[in-house]
Amino acid sequence: MTPLQALQQYFGYSNFRHSQEAIIQHVLNKQDVMVLMPTGGGKSLCYQLPAVLLNGLTVVISPLIALMKDQVDSLNLSGIPAAFLNSSQDPEEQKDIAVQLKNNQLRLLYVAPERLFGKDTRLMVFLKTLNVVQIAIDEAHCISQWGHDFRPEYLMLAGLKNEFPGVPVIALTATADKLTQKDILDKLNLQKPAVFISSFNRENITYRVNPKKNSFNQLINFLEERKDESGIIYCLSRKSTEALAANLKDEGFSAEAYHAGLTNDIKAKNQEAFLRDDVKVMVATIAFGMGINKSNVRYVVHVDLPKNIEGYYQETGRAGRDGLPSDALLLYSPGDAMKLKGFAQVENNPEQSAIMLKKLDDMVNYCQLHACRRQYLMQYFDEAFPDNCGSCDFCLSEFVKFDGTLIAQKALSAVARVKERFGVTYIVDFLRGSRSEKIWGDHKLLKTYGAGADISKADWQRYLRELIAMGYLRVTDDAYASLRLTPKSELVLKGLEKVELISSQTTDEKETASLNF
Ligand code: ADP
Ligand code: ZN
C-alpha cells in the first residue's frame, strides 16, 4: 500500500497537507525527523500513517494522560489497532494490552515518558523484546527549559536513542522558537535529523487586540454576535475562570470552566460537553486545549495577557481547525503586563528570567503594535511574510495613516549616524536632542541630532516599532538590542519608497504608550 492509498483508506482524506508526505517518507526510510507545524496543521498523521504502513509497533510518547484515550479511540474507530498504558488502568486492562503487544496485534502504543523511563523498568525491558519500528514524541517542546511548557519528565527521553538504536524518532511540536528547536535536537540526540518547518500562518484566523476597559462588557458584546458558535476564553487565574463562567451563565450563555485545580471528573465532564457542543463557551486557564481536537472552535479570546507569543499563538491556533473563518481577540491592559513582569522572575535563575522577560516584552510589543499583526507573528517565527495580511485589526482597521516618509528618513538616518550601535531608547533620545551627557558629548555634531524634537517620546517609540514591524529596521538578537538598517531602509533614505505611519490621534495607543519595558 502506498502512503496515499493509506491516507485515503484509513484516514479518509484525499490529499496530504503541508509536508506530511515528505515527513512520512523520511520515517519510512528510517530517518530521524523533527516536525514543526502549527496547531491544527496535521501532525498526528505524520506518525500515525507510517504506523499503519510499517510492520511493527509505533511507540507514541505524549505528556497528557487524559488525551491518550481520545487519540486511541479515534484510531480504533478508523480500524487502526492502538492502545495506551497509564496509571488510570487496572492491572487486568494492562495485562490485556501486554498480551496484544506480545502477539503483535497493536500498531500504536501511547505512553507517558515517566512510564517508560521511570524507576520501574519493566515496561522498557518488555518493549525492547518487541518489534518497535518508530518512536513519536508528541509536544516535543516540553523537553526545553526555554520553552513555555517545560516538563522535567521529558528530560528522561535523552536515553531514547540508546535504548532503541536504529529506530527512527519523530519529534513533533507546534512551538517554533529557535532555542527550543535546538534543545529538542540536542536533548533527544537525534541522528542527522531532517527538519520540517511548515508555514505557521493560519490564514483563516483574524487577529485583534482591543484595549481592556471593562472586560465583561467587552466579552458580552463579542459573544452576543456569536451565540451559536463555540469558543474558548482564556483567563490567567483558576478563580477567574470559575467566576467568569458563572457570570456568563447568569447572562444566559452556555459556559463552563476548566482549570487544573478541578477534579478529574469535572474536567472530563466539561471537556466532553464542550467537544459535543452541549456547552458553547469554555472559560479556561491554559491547562485546557493541548491536544484537544475540536474542529469548529470559532473564536479564542484572551481576557488576560498571555506570557509569550508561543503560548498565545498555540492557543489562538485552536480556533478554525476546519479552515473556516475564525477570530482571535485579545484584551490588553498595561496593568496585566506589569503583573506578569513580576511573575517572570525565576528565583536563582537570572538567565531564564531574562528569557522570560524578553518573551513577555515581545508579547507586549505585539499588543501595542501599529502594523500588520500577522506580519509580526510570522516574523517572530522567522517566517518571511512580505505583505500586509488584509485580515487583522490593523489591516482591516479604521486607523488613520499618514505619509510618514520624512519621519522614517529621520529615524533611519539617526540609526545610520550612530553607526547602528544603539537601541530604541537611545535613538529616541538622540532624535529628540536629549542633553544626557553621553548623547550630547558623543553626537551633538551629527546632522540628525535633535531633528525630531517636535515629536513626543511615546510617538517616536511607536514609529520605531512600526518601522521594525514593516522591516525598515531590525533589532539585533544580542543583549544590546541595537537597531540596524535593512535592505529596505536604503529605498526610504534615497526617497525611492514612501512610508505610511499611523496617526496617534485616532487610537487608544495613548493609554499604552507610557508602558515601556
Ligand atoms: P495538530 O496535532 O498538528 O494540532 P492534528 O493532527 O490534530 O493537528 O490535525 C488537525 C486536523 O486536521 C484533524 O482533524 C486531522 O484529522 C485533520 N487532518 C490531518 N491531515 C489531514 C489531511 N491530509 N487532509 C485533511 N485533514 C487532515
Ligand atoms: Zn494584517
Confidence band of 41 (pLDDT split at 50, 70, 90): confident
End-to-end CA distance of the chain: 57
Cα-to-centroid distance, 43 and ligand 1 (Å): 7
Complex-level ipTM beyond the 0.95 threshold: yes
pLDDT at 472 over 50: yes
Provide the pLDDT for residue 441. 60
Confidence band of 242 (pLDDT split at 50, 70, 90): very high
Cα-to-centroid distance, 100 and ligand 2 (Å): 52
Instruction: Give the C-alpha separation, 409 to 292, whole Å.
Output: 48
Kindly state the cell numbers that stand for 152.
522535567
Provide the pLDDT for residue 514. 36
Residue bearing the CA closest to ligand 1, atom 1: 40
Quick one: which atom of ligand 1 is closest to the CA of 138? 2
Q: Span 60-80, mean pLDDT?
A: 90
Provide the pLDDT for residue 446. 65
If residue 197 lies in a helix (H) or strand (E), which one and from where to where? strand 194-197
Specify the pairing of strand 500-502 against strand 401-403. Answer: antiparallel
Confidence band of 350 (pLDDT split at 50, 70, 90): confident
Provide the pLDDT for residue 342. 84
pLDDT at 477 over 90: no
Q: Span 205-210, mean pLDDT?
A: 95
Provide the pLDDT for residue 437. 56
For 432-436, the CB contacts below 8 A with 24+ separation are 432/457, 432/460
Provide the pLDDT for residue 506. 40
Specify the pairing of strand 169-173 against strand 33-36. Answer: parallel
Quick one: which atom of ligand 1 is closest to the CA of 293? 7
- To test the pocket of ligand 1, the residue of 9, 19, 321 to mutate (highest count of ligand atoms within 8 Å of its CB) is 321
Quick one: which atom of ligand 1 is closest to the CA of 317? 4
Cα-to-centroid distance, 265 and ligand 2 (Å): 41
- Tens-digit pLDDT profile for residues 154-202: 999 998 999 999 999 999 998 767 888 899 999 999 999 999 988 889 9
Confidence band of 439 (pLDDT split at 50, 70, 90): low
Q: Span 26-33, mean pLDDT?
A: 96
Instruction: Give the C-alpha separation, 283 to 261, whole Å.
Output: 14
Provide the pLDDT for residue 513. 37
Quick one: which atom of ligand 1 is closest to the CA of 295? 14
pLDDT at 366 over 90: yes
- Tens-digit pLDDT profile for residues 248-278: 999 999 999 999 999 999 999 999 999 999 9
Kindly state the cell numbers that stand for 375.
506580519
* Distance set, CA 224 to CA 205, 229, 280 (Å): 19, 10, 12
**346 within 8 A of 356, measured Cβ to Cβ:** yes
**371 within 8 A of 470, measured Cβ to Cβ:** yes
Q: Which residue has the cell 518488555?
A: 126
Q: Span 488-505, mean pLDDT?
A: 86
Q: Span 321-344, mean pLDDT?
A: 91
Provide the pLDDT for residue 516. 36
In terms of pTM, does the model score above 0.80? no
Residue bearing the CA closest to ligand 1, atom 24: 13
Confidence band of 504 (pLDDT split at 50, 70, 90): low
What percentage of the chain carries pLDDT values higher than 90? 62
pLDDT at 10 over 60: yes
- Tens-digit pLDDT profile for residues 71-127: 999 999 999 999 999 878 899 999 999 999 999 999 999 999 988 888 888 999 999
Residue-averaged pLDDT of the chain: 89
**36 within 8 A of 181, measured Cβ to Cβ:** yes
Provide the pLDDT for residue 517. 34
Judged by its nearest atom, the ligand closest to the C-alpha of residue 469 is 2
Pocket of ligand 1 (CB under 6 A): 13, 15-17, 20, 37, 39-45, 293, 295, 321
